[in-house]
Structure 1
């Protein structure tokens, strides 16, 4: 059988350089995990908004 999703995720977090994911994975309290996850998602959303604005400005 293959590895479980949890094992794959653990290995990915050990090998990745994406700091936000490793902080979420290594957080010791559930609240810290939620805070890091919300931060990661909100920063990704803001990046998407900025990219959209740039495309609209320069590629219309």
Structure 2
């Protein structure tokens, strides 16, 4: 199971691997969703509301 380092939600499907900064392996590889829109889709799936819906509900 891979988690997106940007949004924190589980990645289903393809992921973009971010190489660790440390050459010694002290830091594990991080992953991002392949496309930025996938972060919104993952958040909507987990919470049931899109980021826009959440923002509008606070007004």
Query: Normalised by the size of structure 1, how large is the TM-score?
Result: 0.29
**When you count strand as a share of all residues, which structure comes out higher?**
2
Highest relative contact order (Cα 8 Å, sep 6+), 1 or 2?
2
> Max radius of gyration: which structure?
1
TM-score when normalising by structure 2: 0.29
Which is richer in helix? 1
